[in-house]
Structure 1
Amino acid sequence: MIEANIERLWEQLMAFIEEGRVIPVIGPELLMLDIDGKPALLYDYLAEQLAKRLGIKSEADDTLNTVACRYLAQGGQREDMYPVLKRALAELSQVKPPETLVKLAEIRPLKLFVTTCFDPYLVRTLNQVRYRGKDSTQVLEFYPGSGKDLPEEMEYLAGTTVFHLFGKLTAAPDYAVTDEDILEFMHALQSADTRPKLLFDALVGQGLMIIGCQLFDWLGRFFVRLGNRHRLIISKEKTDFLVGDQIRKEINLAEFLLHFSSRTKIFPMQSIEFVNELYQRWTAMHPAGVDDGEHFDTAARALPVDKAEPVELVAEPDAREPMRGGAVFLSYAHEDEEAVIAIKHALETAGIEVWFDRNTNALRVGDNFKARIKTNIEQCALFVPIISRHTLTQERRFFRFEWKYAQECADFYPESRRFIMPLAIDDTPPDDPNLDEYIRELHWERLQNGQCGAAFLTELKQLQRAYRRNSE
């Protein structure tokens, strides 16, 4: 039965998103593209292209599954279809991203996305909206026998992660195209030996926002059950939200959920309509994200599938924004900002959560500002001063206030605890007299050929994880 009190549903969902307690599960109904001047759902277009390129008769309501079945019935080989689909998607490289994905990417508390689709649009959109076009979103995929899983528990994931539940695009048959593929994926996902344990720990511990997934009757029942630790009839731990054009048609599924899964709520809306309203409600609650004029403009920009354009999209965090406890604090001279942004992306790609202030181009005054910086340093897991020739200046600079306060905080830790980890980005000598004595005495890391060393990244990640575990 479809939930009648829609406003109550919205209040619940928005509160859960605000608290970071929701994992969106994305399906093909959200992928509306403008192809050759006409709106088309991506997977309907791919079904048409697959039939055309395999020489199979195309019909109006074809899906990838029906085309595949027709091809196999005529003696075709299953392996033929996957490279064809890869080529068809590559030809859409200049098509703008689905507006629905852009709007979901703008909702920053959503950091782990699960998708039942194999295309790269979700990952590309997140990179463009959140990382200025850099390939910084962590991408994982499951397929039978792969053993793929999250690298760590959800609460320790830094940055944004996308998990392809039914495989991702490749020339090999490692993603789901047919109903038989989906059956095998579902079988493997339920196996104690092959299921991605950390992913499912996240799915059963968080509310699921399942949008646009074509869950036909029994597939829908199995899918909802995967996201619950106990039998649906007794599960009271969390609330899941279902939205979809197909789901609204599944009367038997709705009846089943009504009687056996009262914590699963169905929004009486179409998938794209739902995302539009979700975005409208979120931006009304968080108007600063819209008023700064730097959010993603879907009418003006195209997002290539194979190569993201590195354009300025969103403002980086500054001292006005709260820092999540346990982040790595980067402190630097403003002349080194470009290098520090590259370091930030390298750390986030390695799964390390980072905070830094992009507005350090002057010595700023004011007790409120200094108090916020102090609080962030006190709450960070590690403090990383970025050392370069620019930090040797004898001018009054705010980064020195940060460095001195970090040294005060370090006094409260035992000597065995690494808190300040200097990173040199050029050949600045460690004995330069313009650096404070305590900085000169610390062990420095240096960029290797302009890159952060693997050992350094591993140590940062381990120390951040240990800090957060101890804080719990």
Structure 2
Amino acid sequence: MPFDTESLWAQLLGYIEEGLVVPVVGSGLLQVPTPQSGISYYSYLAERLAESVGVSSAELTAGSELNDVACRYLAKGGQIDELYPKVFMLSRQETMGIPEPILQLASIPTFRLFVTTTFAPFMERALNEVRFGGTAGTEVLSYSLTKIQDLKGPVAENPRPTVYHLLGRVSAIPDFAVTHEDILEFVHSLQSPERDPPNLFREVEDRSLLILGCRFNDWLARFFLRGWRRMRLSAGYKQPIFVADREVARDTNLIGFLNSFSRGTKIFPLAGPVEFVAELHRRWNELHPAPIAPTEVIAKTDSSNGNRAFVFVSYASEDRPAAQKINEALCEAGVDTFFDKEGLEAGENWETKLREKIRACSLFLAVVSRNVLTSEPRFFRSEWRLALQLFEQTPAYYSARDVFLLPVAIDATPPDNARIPQDFGRVQWFRLADGYPTSEFVERVKQLHRRSQQEKAGIV
């Protein structure tokens, strides 16, 4: 029977859509643009390290990495502890661009937790670039053999994306994996109940892992998978594990083992991780396209607002009559709104314009009904996504979240519905049957509108 790749893609994309996937980012994704186009980041560092410790290129084969240099250096009588500060300094000297696959992963908003088996900071840099405009907004944690760092709580309760370095983060001390022995020690330590990060393992227990270019083969891969699931692989998984790694796909012994004892592990056949992420990015954007002629959301700058603060009213086109009642009541109460549905002219900068408008608003009012529970790509979901992403950049997030987000249900749709963003479910909702506003609602919006303006001005 031929392998059904399309069904596997559909399954993976469905899990990603629901926020149930944790990418595990390996060194196979770190193809860095350099004068030696196409060289991996680890191979590039290995060349520089070899030069600094007196290992000649004649002693190495093409594509050698840090472990190969370390072995040659030790054979010459060198000390292993001397290599870590050298790798640290070399990594600081290189000002390389962020690899494209890492940027592509960062652009998928439902990825909130990233685990990386590399010591390099590329995933953090990509998230800061894509989601925070270049400012530091990503939480970064690192496992080490001397000190355990763990998630502070559920990822869903953290407004910031998180990167967890599973094999250490580059530093001047030998607390990150450079050699194969280092990797073995980290994996061994993670197997110990006294040394594991319990919150991290609990977080991934109910989610699918997407393992990308980790380049673990045979027994190391078996230990790695076993460590994540905390039980026999043959006992089954709550959620599948997806693997995109050409080396794993070519390892017939490992494939035979997984087919027999770990059927919840789904391997994309002969998929190179860089090409796989590019295809994932393409398919995600295909499912979440820029709308051609949106009628349900504002996309064109409304000059009537000028520089004044305003309430952004977001709604599905089916709910326009109810949303219009809400809008008219707010306008009559002297609250400026952004509501006109003139539609954004098709163009590449539609998201930039929408982002600017949401960034400028004082309050994001989301009209919620059964009409928003669709799984189809809709423009109001782009509004919701951008609103949540932009507000996560606000330093006063924990104190001001109630100021910015105001879901208004016009029917019996519950806050805990799976199609409703979790952040919406954590704030106060208003229920206005068919959109008929109450005096209490209007007064509350006026209060939130004023308070948000004060938050932005630094008055409170």
TM-score normalised by structure 2 residue count: 0.69
Say whether the 8 Å CA contact 1:159–1:351 is kept in structure 2. Answer: no
Once superposed, what is the RMSD of the aligned Cα atoms?
Answer: 4.1
> In the TM superposition, what is the alpha-carbon distance from 1:403 to its structure 2 partner?
7.3
> Aligned equivalents of 2:13 and 2:210: distance in 1?
11
Name 1:209's counterpart in structure 2.
Answer: 210
Q: 1:202 to 1:381 in 2, by over 3 A?
A: closer
2:273 is matched with which residue?
271
What does residue range 282-361 of structure 1 map to in structure 2 within 5 Å? 282-288=284-290, 293=348, 315=355, 318=358, 319=364, 344-347=393-396, 356=404
Q: Residues 152-188 of structure 1: CA distance to partner in whole angstroms, max 9, x if unpaired?
A: 1233222210000001111111100011111111111
In 2: Cα distance, 1:403 partner to 1:15 partner: 39
Offset at residue 425 of structure 1 (A): 6.0
Name structure 2 gaps, 5 residues minimum: 293-345, 359-363, 369-389, 411-419, 429-438
**Partner residue in 2 for 1:234:** 235
Give 1:91 shift.
2.8
- Contact 1:44/1:63, CA 8 A, preserved across alignment: yes
Q: Matches of 2:182 and 2:357 in 1, distance apart?
A: 43
Q: Percent identity?
A: 35
Secondary structure in 1 aligned to 2:234?
coil
Counterparts of 1:392-411 in structure 2 under 5 Å?
404-405=443-444
Q: Residue 181 of structure 1 corresponds to which residue in structure 2?
A: 182
Per the alignment, do residues 40 and 422 of structure 1 end up closer, same or farther by CA in structure 2, a change over 3 Å counting? same
Moved more, 131-140 or 284-293: 284-293
Distance in 1 (CA, whole Å) between partners of 2:87 and 2:80 is 12
For 1:84, the equivalent position in structure 2 comes to 86
Once the two structures are overlaid, the 10-residue window that deviates more, 112-121 or 236-245, is 236-245
Partner residue in 2 for 1:32: 31
Give 5+ residue unaligned stretches, structure 1.
Answer: 297-311, 324-340, 358-366, 369-374, 384-399, 410-419, 429-445, 447-472
RCO (CA 8 Å, sep 6+): is it higher in 1 or 2? 1
Q: Aligned equivalents of 1:351 and 1:34: distance in 2? A: 42
Alignment of 1:3-402 (within 5 A): 4-36=3-35, 38-58=37-57, 59=60, 60-93=62-95, 95-268=96-269, 269-288=271-290, 293=348, 315=355, 318=358, 319=364, 344-347=393-396, 356=404, 379=424, 381-382=426-427
2:402 and 2:427 in contact (8 A); partners too: no
In structure 1, the residue corresponding to 2:7 is in which secondary structure? helix
Alignment partners' CA distance in 2, 1:112 and 1:345: 19
Distance in 1 separating the partners of 2:164 and 2:280: 22
Q: What's the secondary structure of 2:167's corresponding residue?
A: coil
Conserved 8 A contact 1:167-1:175: yes
CA-CA distance at 1:79 after TM superposition: 2.1
- More helix per residue: 2
For residues 163 and 153 of structure 2, what CA distance do their matches in structure 1 show?
14
Residues 212 and 402 of structure 1, relative CA distance in 2, 3 Å threshold: farther
Cα-to-partner distance string for 1:83-107 (whole Å, 9 max, x where unaligned): 22222222321x3211111111111
Contact residue 240 and residue 265 of structure 1 kept, 8 A = yes
Q: Deviations over 1:409-440 (max 9, x none)?
A: 9xxxxxxxxxx999656686xxxxxxxxxxxx
The residue number in structure 1 matching 2:316 is none
The 1:118/1:321 distance shift into structure 2, 3 A limit, reads: farther
**Take 1:278 and 1:196, find their aligned partners in 2: how far apart are those partners?**
29
TM-score by length of 1: 0.67
Partners of 2:212 and 2:243 within 8 A in 1:
yes
Of 68-77 and 161-170, more deviation after overlay is shown by 68-77
CA contact (8 A) 1:44 1:62 kept: yes
Distance 1:122 1:273, change over 3 A: same
Contact 2:208 2:239 in 1 (8 A): yes
SS, match of residue 25 in structure 1: strand
